Structure formats: structure tokens, C-alpha cells
Chains A and B, each alone.
Chain A
């Protein structure tokens, strides 16, 4: 099982990575990217089972990344969870339409991420 964590905040990447490790995954089971461009590069080099991405990032934002993943490459069916501060209804609908499988608003608890991860991994 391989997970890709995409967030421009190094703190957030560590927090998410920590929760992922609490779920029983090892440190080697996930990679990190600080923006959409670097994430896309990793996605073209390796295979991932889940993608956890922020929305507001420099260079390529999370929404653009989701649209790109869904339209081209080898991860068109890979589950994507968006973890972001954008909590508006319109934003959630926009993200879901772009192809996000689930949505988490920051700040979140470890339990929420666990539930969402379990949810997308079961499907």
C-alpha cells in the first residue's frame, strides 16, 4: 500500500504522515510532495494506492492536480481525498465534481482521517 501526501505546508505533511503511521503504515509507505507539479512528477514515476492532497498550493493547486489525475496518466481510478481549509459548500461540490472521492476540512482529527481512509480503501 502506497500513499502520496501533497501539501505545501511541511507541518501539515508531517501531521498527515503521522496519522497515516498511526494507522499502521510504515514511513516508507508514503511519499510527500509540496505542490501539484511535484506530485504529478511522482505520480508519473511511481504507483500509489491513495492520494491525499491540499487545495491551495503554489504552482499547481490541488483542484488542478485532481483534474489532471482524473483525465490522464495511470492514476485515473486512484482514490483521492482532499484535505483543505476551504470549507464552503461550493468548494466541496467543485472538488467532488473534479473527481475527489472524499473531502476533509482542516483542522481535522486523526479519527476523521482514519475513517475517510478506511472508507476509500474499502471501495
Chain B
């Protein structure tokens, strides 16, 4: 559970290190406000000697606890990392599962492929018979390519159907590996946010350039204003001087407005930049999810692993009670009789 800055400050206000040492474990899940942090910081610095004396006795124990806890965590992490299995092993596991699941489906596939072969053979005969101008080799190559494409399409459709029906798992390719995808999302997001930051920075630079141009314009206008003021005093009857003076004052007002708009725009850009902290926070959330998935993967592999010294047991394909047809009783006797007659 994380805390807001305010909560941290509020909690830190009443925080006394020496008192909290007894309740540190309970406080682990609590959050602190910024004011509390401030108070704790000031308190720890102002009462340095006192707090040191107070905390030394008890902090030894607490530091020992934290260190041992940290050590435990780091040991756990090391053990976990050493127990990680390779992607190849995961692939093997997934592939073996899919084979078991899809025995029947594979038989269907064989049927489909046979159909394709027979149809492609028919096509080949038709082509050979009708078009005598093409050479035999070209025709064979063309037909093989055609049948291969058809076969690929059939296989792809079949595999898609099987995956959608949940009969076989999604192949462990890069675009289906969860941690890989999350890593890619985090990295892409970081890259895009950086690009957005570039755009915002560029806008800030442009605003600064505009501000520079306006500053120069203001200087020129100020000198013109002084000139017009002098001329309008010396020649009060010449209206053009006073009207120009009014015009310059109006322009100065416009420039002030533009500067205010630029300042507001800068503030909005700064706010947008602050909001982009979401990316770092989200990335850390994604990293937390990835950590859970890795640990889960290790756990599942530990759960399902065997000693590995035993050979795969041959399993029965058709057992009484299965949905598929079982030959037994009279049917079995009949089948044996027919077979014996043929022999």
C-alpha cells in the first residue's frame, strides 16, 4: 500500500524513531505524508544527539532485523534466479502438453492433408493433360508450390480453430510470451514518452524564442514611445504624434498579453511534464507484474517437475468409458473371425 505525500507528512509529524522501532513491522504498510517526513527529518536532525542515544540501543536490534530481512530477500532472489528454467525447457513442456491434448486433432489433420494431396494430384494430372506447351518440370514445380500453399493455409486455419476452441495452446512465440510482451510495452512506452517530452521541450524553446523577439520589439517600441512623447509635447497640434503614441501604448499592451499567454502555456507544459511521471510509475507496476509472473512460472515448474529419470509411460488410447467407440463383446469376436477368415 503506497501513501500520498500528505499522508507521509502527517504520519512523520508524530514519528519518533525510538518509539517506532518497536512498531516498525506494524508500520510497514502504513504510509507517510510529506509533512511527516519533514517533521521526522527536522526532528532527527535537531535532536541528533538525543535521538542517536535513544536509538542506538534499540536501533541495533531493528537494523539487525532489517538487514536480516534484506538478506533473506536477497537470498530468496538468488535462489529463485538459480532455479529459473530456460525458455527451451518451457517450450518442450508446452509442446509435450499440446501433443498429448491433440492426438485426435492430429488424426483430423492427417485426413485434411491427405485430401489436399489427392486433390493436388488430380490438379497435376489435369494440368499435364491440357497444357502441353509448358514443360513438365515447370508444371511440377508450379503444382508443388500451389499444393504447398494450400496445405499451409489449411494447416493455419486448422491450427487457428484448434487454438480458438482451446484444444491446443498458443505457440510459445515471441508475440505470445507474456513477460516479453510486457517488457516491450514498458520499453516502447518509455521511448514514446521521451519523444513526447522532446516535443514539449521544443515548444518551451519556441516560447523562449518568441519571448526574445517580443523583448526586442518592446525595446524598439519603448524608444518609439519616447520619441512620440517628445514630439507630441513639442507639437501638440499635430495629431499624428499623439495617435501614434496611443498606437504604441496599445501595442505594448498586446505584447504584455502575449507574454502572459506564453507564461500560461509554459506552466501548462510544465504540468504536462509533471504528469508524465505516470510512465515511470506504470513501468514499475508492470515490473511488479512481471516479477509475479516469473515467480509463478518457477512455482508451476517446481510443482510439475519430476525426477526426470523415468521414461514416459505408454498410455492407453482407447479405454472403456471413453466417448470414442470401443470394440468389445460381439463386435470384437466378429472382427477377429473376419480377420482369421481372410488369413
Contacts and interface: CB of A to CB of B under 8 A. Distances in A.
Interface residues of B, number: 47
Interface string B100-125: 00000000000000000000000000
A31 to B, nearest CB: 18
Contacts of A106: 277, 280-281
Given A11-B190, A92-B40, A105-B5, A85 B280 contact: yes
B168 interface: no
B99 interface: no
Given A85-B284, A87-B8, A110 B274 contact: yes
A88 interface: yes
Contacts of A29: none
A47 interface: no
Contact of B280 (A11, A96, A103): A11
A107 B278 contact: yes
A105 B59 contact: no
Tell me which of A10, A12, A93 has the highest count of chain B C-beta atoms within 10 A of its own C-beta: A93
B8 A96 contact: no
Interface in B35-73: 37-38, 40-41, 44-45, 59, 63, 66
Contact of B3 (A15, A22, A89, A93): A89
B27 interface: yes
B37 A92 contact: yes
A57 B243 CA distance: 65
Interface string B17-29: 1001000110111
A40 B40 CA distance: 27
Nearest to B285: A85
Given A92-B32, A96-B41, A12 B280 contact: yes
Interface of B: 1-5, 7-8, 11-12, 15, 17, 20, 24-25, 27-32, 34, 37-38, 40-41, 44-45, 59, 63, 66, 190, 193-194, 197, 201, 270, 273-281, 283-284
8 contacts: A15-B277, A85-B284, A92-B40, A93-B40, A103-B41, A105-B4, A105-B8, A119-B38
Interface of A: 7, 9-12, 14-15, 18, 22, 56, 85-90, 92-94, 96-97, 101-110, 112, 119, 123
